[in-house]
Each structure stands twice: as structure tokens, then as C-alpha cells.
């Protein structure tokens, strides 16, 4: 049986651990808040600009190069099974709405050689824009919690939807949402995730 002194000492240690963890979390949050290039990324906020490698022509490109367009920005990796699962529906969406102005940009966050990613894309016959960013900054900039994560950006550069996890991008509801967005140029901010309803 533990003595009262031992129990009090153990309780004190747990309180100390809790205080340290809380202090660390506060420091991280403060650091993010003070960092000039890290802002909350959510529906209603401006989509952060970034640069990446366009795998088709190996040129450096920026998100801001597509200012004024409706964009589906998808962050993914070749090792991510849910990412691979949603790619065919993104291809079908591209074929349906690409001609009417929807820009799909899927950015690979793989740490591997760009050629490896390009071969992965070629084998799956994907024809929408595939970019590559492997320096880790994009994950921090968009504050990703996992892959895939997707952001719908209106013509004004505002995030109007955030999707966490794989989606059927060519479902009737998704297609209707993009058609409305393309027609009016912007939309009311909305979000969806594990506990949110699809459009």
C-alpha cells in the first residue's frame, strides 16, 4: 500500500508534467501567431501563396499565377492510399469542368525525386496540373493534419471550402457546387471534414 507521501509526490510529478505540456503548447501557438508567414487557413481566409515545381514542364510556378480562377487545390502524396483513391474522380471532374474554367492543382508533398512522382502520375493517366513541393513548407503554410487535404479557392483568392480526407469529386453535389462557384465567381465560406456534411 502506498503511503500518503508517495501519493502526494506522484501527484506533484503529474502536475509538473501537465504544466510543462501546457507551457509547450502555448509556446507553439504563440510562435505560430507571431510568425509572419503562418496565418489561420480556413474557409473565409485568403489562400496563402506558395511556389512549387510543375512536373509537366519542370518550371517553378506559383499559386498566384492563377489569380482570378476557381481552383481546387489538393495536397497529396504517392504513398497515401486515400489520395490515390480519389484521383480518378478528380480526373473526371477535370474533364467535365476544366473546359468551363475550373483549375485543378494537385501538389505532391513527396520527399522523393520529381521523376518518381511524374511516373506515378503517368501510370494513372492524370491530365490535370500536378505540382511538386518537397521542402515541407507547404504543410506548415496550409497547416495540414494529414493527407489528402483539399481547398476550394474562389476567383478572389479566398478559401471557400476545406475538405479533409478523400472525396468523390465528381459526385452530383460536388459538380453542382463547382458550377455555382464558376457561375458567380465566389461563394459563401463553408467547410467540411470528418464531421461535416458534403455539399
Q: What is the per-residue pLDDT across 135-172, written as a single tens digit (0 to 9) for each?
A: 999 999 999 999 999 999 999 999 999 999 999 999 99
Q: Are residues 159 and 129 in the same domain?
A: yes
Instruction: Name which of 3-12, 80-89, 158-167, 188-197 the model is least confident about.
Output: 188-197
Q: What is the pTM of this model?
A: 0.76
Cα separation of the two ends of the chain: 58
Q: Are residues 56 and 30 in the same domain?
A: no
Tell me how many domains the chain contains: 2
Paired with 161 in beta bridges are: 152
* Residue 123 structural domain: 51-184
How does pLDDT run across 48-74, given as a tens digit for each residue?
999 999 999 999 999 999 999 999 999
Q: Are residues 136 and 166 in the same domain?
A: yes
Cα–Cα dist 47/90, whole Å: 20
Q: Are residues 30 and 125 in the same domain?
A: no
Q: Are residues 20 and 87 in the same domain?
A: no
The answer as to whether 179 is a domain residue is yes
Cα–Cα dist 111/92, whole Å: 27
The predicted pLDDT at position 11 comes to 52
pLDDT band at 40 (very low <50, low <70, confident <90, very high): confident
Q: Which CATH number is 62's domain given?
A: 3.40.30.10
The answer as to whether 115 is a domain residue is yes
Amino acid at each position: 500500500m502506498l503511503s500518503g507521501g508517495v501519493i502526494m509526490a506522484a501527484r506533484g510529478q503529474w502536475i509538473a508534467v501537465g504544466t510543462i505540456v501546457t507551457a509547450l503548447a502555448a509556446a507553439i501557438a504563440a510562435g505560430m501567431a507571431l510568425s509572419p508567414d503562418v496565418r489561420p487557413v480556413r474557409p473565409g481566409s485568403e489562400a496563402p501563396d506558395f511556389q512549387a515545381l510543375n512536373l509537366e514542364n519542370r518550371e517553378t510556378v506559383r499559386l498566384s499565377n492563377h489569380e482570378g480562377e476557381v481552383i481546387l487545390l489538393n495536397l497529396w502524396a504517392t504513398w497515401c492510399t486515400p489520395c490515390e483513391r480519389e484521383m480518378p474522380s478528380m480526373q473526371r471532374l477535370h474533364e467535365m469542368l476544366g473546359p468551363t474554367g475550373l483549375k485543378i492543382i494537385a501538389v505532391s508533398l513527396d520527399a522523393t525525386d520529381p521523376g518518381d512522382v511524374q511516373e506515378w502520375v503517368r501510370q494513372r493517366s492524370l491530365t490535370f496540373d500536378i505540382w511538386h513541393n518537397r521542402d515541407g513548407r507547404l504543410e506548415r503554410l496550409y497547416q495540414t493534419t494529414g493527407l489528402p487535404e483539399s481547398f476550394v479557392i474562389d476567383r478572389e483568392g479566398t478559401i471557400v471550402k476545406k475538405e479533409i480526407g478523400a472525396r468523390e469529386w465528381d459526385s452530383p453535389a460536388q459538380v453542382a457546387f463547382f458550377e455555382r462557384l464558376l457561375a458567380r465567381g465566389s461563394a459563401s465560406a463553408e467547410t467540411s471534414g470528418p464531421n461535416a456534411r458534403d455539399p
